[in-house]
Structure 1
Amino acid sequence: MATFRKRGKYWEYRVKYTNAAGKQLVASHGGYRLKSSAQDAAEAVEDDLKRGGDPSKAGTLFLDYWDQWIDAYKSGDKSLNTEYRYTLLRKHLKSRFDGRELGSIRPIEWQRFLNDFAAGKDRKKETTRKGPRERSKDIVSKMNSYVRSMVKAAINDRLLFSDFTFGAKVGGIRSGSKVKVLDQDDFAQVKSKAAEKASYRSIGALAVYLGAMTGMRVSEVLALTWDDIDTINNVIHVTRSWDHQYGTGFKPTKTEASIRDIEVSPAVIKLLERIHQEQMAAYLRTGYRDPDQMLMRNQWHTVITDTACNKALAILQSDAGIPKEKQITFHGLRHSHVSYLISQGIDIYYISKRLGHSDITITMRVYGHLLDSQKKKEALKATAAMDRL
């Protein structure tokens, strides 16, 4: 039962309650000009108590709980890139909600924050002719998703009783629907030139060749060891990736689905065996021993970087006569690999597994537009089959 008293010009409420540990406590707050305002506030506290809330936690700050949530649920089990993203997102949250209590955030405030975040209104130094540089829809969606997960945890902790992110609309620039790929002739040229140039002294060309032939991510190519090469069954085992950004060495694959076996042709295995022999001969001459047995270790005994891979690819594309505006990055090899497989009528489900996607919807979302021409061919086959019935 709430009690009220006037202290000078302002009203104060006091609500006695027993917490989960059986201890009797008092929730109080003053500064209300009208008694009715104090009564409304006390009623809100009593409603929270009925729902299992704890008024002693009502003053928890937004950023304090964000830090607790990150520490409990996110720290240590994500890549350095992802953990760095949490730090960046916190800076943006602080710019708007520093000092704010978690329970004081209203849905309309959160929506306005997302709108401003998407519009890039904080990017004073990054402007275009049209104004601040907008953020991608993907990063805005991640911001909303992370905070929504935090809010759900706060609800479970009885700090909140409603989700201020519920119904929030995510803005931002949509990523280009089409991925950049080499056409079939250019892709074939790059593959051939990479195979010709690949050697122990040109490990970058080997990385390009493997990227073209397997569709592997650059971090997966860099992490390959000779134990991952099954020369009997013509298979490459993808079991981990390489931290080429922070230089920490091996790290887990992007997702569990990324752990996979990729079938390759005997020609790929033959080329790898040749380079392995070159590498072992060089190690024998210098007395070097590689405990990790890395494929991508160069003549200076260091694993090449993603920058070196992209540089090697750029040189090979120029050698193939591909104009700069049509040239792709290493990740574009993955897209070109998929584009070629689709053009050859390879089943999209198999392609999805080959790429290491968690499910086929990811493959369809990224490469769906490449299937349009294939769909037309299949439609003609289907109608012809029905006519023959």
Structure 2
Amino acid sequence: MATFRKRGKYWEYRVKYTDSAGKQLVASHGGYRLKSSAQDAAEAVEDDLKRGGDPSKQDVLLLDYWDQWAEAYRINGKSINTVYRYKLFRKHLKSRFDGRKLNSIRPIEWQKFINDFAAGKDRKEKTTRKRPRERSKDIVTKMNSYVRGMVKAAINERILFSDFTFGTKTSGVRSSGKVKVLDSRDFAKVKAIAIERASYRNIGALAVYIGSMTGMRISEVLALTWPDIDTKLCVIHVTRSWDHLYGTGFKPTKTDSSVRDIEISPSVIELLNKIHQEQAASYLRTGYRDEDQMIMRDPRHNVITDSACNKALHVIQNKAGIPEDKQITFHGLRHSHVSYLISKGVDIYYISKRLGHSDVTITMKVYGHLLDSQRKQEAHKAVLFMDQL
């Protein structure tokens, strides 16, 4: 039963209870201007006790519990990208709920937070936009989903008795579902300019050329070493990737199936041999020794960044006369590579293996819309052949 006392101008409640170990404890809190407010708070504590709650856990802060939960269940042993995402989400939670108790968050507060997060109201960008740039629905859904996972854990621990994320509506910019690619004419221009500019002093152009000719991810291109190039069989061995986000060096490929061999043309080998000779001559002059035998090192002996690769691609696209609104990023080279192969009738199963997809259904899901014209051709052949039967 709760008792109340007035200390100065404020009321305090005290609720005696027995914990799960049989120990007698007291839950107390003060600072209420009205006795009725203290009575309401005490009644809430007693209700929680009846439901099996532990008052000693009621003061836990949202951010503190997020840290405990994420460390215990989510980020231990996970990839750098996963850890970064949890830290990023924590930063956004801190901006709105710093110092707030976990059990004080109301559903309407959470919905408003999600609405503002989706609208990008927290973004402070140097831009001419009249409104903040909205976030994608995918990232907004992830934020809500991660916090919902934390809330469920808190309910299991009897810290919470209801889910403040229940019924939350997520919004944001929906992906068109279509990948951005260069048409075959522009793609050919990019390839031609890249091979013309590629040299030891312009490694970015080499990266663009390799990306165009192989469809490799940027992290895979940056991780290439000279032993990965089989000059006799004209094959690139993809065995690992490069951490271009955090600069930690080599890391495993995105998936197990990403470890693969990619067939290349003799012209690619010819260019690589030329640049290998240029690199070796430079190292001989400077006395530099590269134990990793990296291909994508610039004249300062640093592995080039993803930003440098995208900048090189941007320069090449400008040179090719491609309008800004039609230009692609480095990852768009991968999509353009696939688009070109599909347009030439290359088997989708081979393309899937070339990309390092674990299953052809992944390839079909991403590039299915590019297969429409091929489907029409195959349908025409099927009807024609059946007519000839």
TM-score class, shorter? 0.7 to 0.9
1:33 aligned residue:
36
Cα drift, residue 171 of structure 1: 0.5
Cα drift, residue 209 of structure 1: 1.2
Select 1:42's aligned residue among 26, 42, 46. 46
SS of corresponding position for 2:250: strand
Report the CA distance shift for 1:113/1:373 in structure 2 as closer, same or farther (over 3 A): same
Cα drift, residue 386 of structure 1: 4.7
Instruction: For structure 1, list consecutive stretches of 5 or more residues without a partner in the other structure.
Output: none
1:16 aligned residue:
17
Do the aligned residues in 1 keep the contact of 2:182 with 2:326 (CA within 8 Å)?
A: yes
2:100 aligned residue:
100
Do the aligned residues in 1 keep the contact of 2:2 with 2:16 (CA within 8 Å)?
A: no
Report the CA distance shift for 1:322/1:92 in structure 2 as closer, same or farther (over 3 A): closer
Cα drift, residue 55 of structure 1: 3.4
In structure 2, what residue type is equivalent to 1:45?
L
Cα drift, residue 191 of structure 1: 1.8
Cα drift, residue 338 of structure 1: 1.6
1:200 aligned residue:
200
Do the aligned residues in 2 keep the contact of 1:181 with 1:336 (CA within 8 Å)?
A: yes
Report the CA distance shift for 1:184/1:107 in structure 2 as closer, same or farther (over 3 A): same
C-alpha RMSD of the superposition: 3.4
Cα drift, residue 323 of structure 1: 4.1
Could you give the per-residue CA deviations for residues 77-125 of structure 1, whole angstroms, max 9, x where no partner exists? 433x654544443232123222222233343432222112112333477
2:183 aligned residue:
183
SS of corresponding position for 1:33: helix
Q: Following the alignment from structure 2 to structure 1, what is the Cα–Cα distance between the partners of residues 86 and 364?
A: 28
1:228 aligned residue:
228
Q: Following the alignment from structure 2 to structure 1, what is the Cα–Cα distance between the partners of residues 176 and 388?
A: 41
Q: Which deviates the most, 122-131 or 68-77?
A: 122-131
Do the aligned residues in 1 keep the contact of 2:223 with 2:250 (CA within 8 Å)?
A: yes
Cα drift, residue 262 of structure 1: 2.6
Q: Following the alignment from structure 1 to structure 2, what is the Cα–Cα distance between the partners of residues 243 and 41?
A: 50
Cα drift, residue 293 of structure 1: 0.1
Aligned ranges 1:262-301 → 2 under 5 Å: 262-301=262-301
Do the aligned residues in 2 keep the contact of 1:15 with 1:46 (CA within 8 Å)?
A: no
Q: Following the alignment from structure 2 to structure 1, what is the Cα–Cα distance between the partners of residues 216 and 12?
A: 67
In structure 2, what residue type is equivalent to 1:342?
I
Do the aligned residues in 2 keep the contact of 1:342 with 1:371 (CA within 8 Å)?
A: yes
1:142 aligned residue:
142
In structure 2, what residue type is equivalent to 1:18?
D
Report the CA distance shift for 1:231/1:150 in structure 2 as closer, same or farther (over 3 A): farther
Do the aligned residues in 1 keep the contact of 2:58 with 2:159 (CA within 8 Å)?
A: yes
Cα drift, residue 324 of structure 1: 4.4
Q: Which deviates the most, 323-332 or 120-129?
A: 120-129
Aligned ranges 1:157-172 → 2 under 5 Å: 157-172=157-172
Aligned ranges 1:210-225 → 2 under 5 Å: 210-225=210-225
In structure 2, what residue type is equivalent to 1:223?
A
In structure 1, what residue type is equivalent to 2:262?
I
2:79 aligned residue:
78
1:5 aligned residue:
3
In structure 1, what residue type is equivalent to 2:15?
R
Do the aligned residues in 2 keep the contact of 1:60 with 1:102 (CA within 8 Å)?
A: yes
Report the CA distance shift for 1:64/1:33 in structure 2 as closer, same or farther (over 3 A): same
Cα drift, residue 255 of structure 1: 4.4
Report the CA distance shift for 1:386/1:104 in structure 2 as closer, same or farther (over 3 A): farther
Q: Following the alignment from structure 1 to structure 2, what is the Cα–Cα distance between the partners of residues 344 and 4?
A: 80
Q: Which deviates the most, 116-125 or 206-215?
A: 116-125
Do the aligned residues in 2 keep the contact of 1:11 with 1:38 (CA within 8 Å)?
A: no
SS of corresponding position for 2:182: coil
1:66 aligned residue:
66
SS of corresponding position for 1:14: strand
Report the CA distance shift for 1:158/1:228 in structure 2 as closer, same or farther (over 3 A): farther
Cα drift, residue 336 of structure 1: 0.7
Do the aligned residues in 1 keep the contact of 2:115 with 2:171 (CA within 8 Å)?
A: yes
Q: Following the alignment from structure 2 to structure 1, what is the Cα–Cα distance between the partners of residues 301 and 188?
A: 31
Q: Which deviates the most, 152-161 or 102-111?
A: 152-161
Report the CA distance shift for 1:303/1:95 in structure 2 as closer, same or farther (over 3 A): closer
Q: Following the alignment from structure 2 to structure 1, what is the Cα–Cα distance between the partners of residues 385 and 280?
A: 56
Cα drift, residue 33 of structure 1: 2.0
TM-score by length of 1: 0.82
TM-score by length of 2: 0.82
Report the CA distance shift for 1:319/1:91 in structure 2 as closer, same or farther (over 3 A): closer
Could you give the per-residue CA deviations for residues 32-61 of structure 1, whole angstroms, max 9, x where no partner exists? 6286874564133221x2xxx543222211
Could you give the per-residue CA deviations for residues 354-375 of structure 1, whole angstroms, max 9, x where no partner exists? 3344655654454333233233
In structure 1, what residue type is equivalent to 2:36?
R
1:329 aligned residue:
329
Q: Following the alignment from structure 2 to structure 1, what is the Cα–Cα distance between the partners of residues 287 and 130?
A: 60
In structure 2, what residue type is equivalent to 1:24?
K
Q: Following the alignment from structure 2 to structure 1, what is the Cα–Cα distance between the partners of residues 11 and 105?
A: 25
The answer to whether structure 1 residue 314 and structure 2 residue 314 are counterparts is: yes
Could you give the per-residue CA deviations for residues 320-368 of structure 1, whole angstroms, max 9, x where no partner exists? 4444443333222112112112222334454344334465565445433
Do the aligned residues in 1 keep the contact of 2:228 with 2:237 (CA within 8 Å)?
A: yes
Provide the identity percentage.
Answer: 67
Report the CA distance shift for 1:116/1:229 in structure 2 as closer, same or farther (over 3 A): same
SS of corresponding position for 1:341: helix
Report the CA distance shift for 1:41/1:238 in structure 2 as closer, same or farther (over 3 A): same
Cα drift, residue 292 of structure 1: 0.8
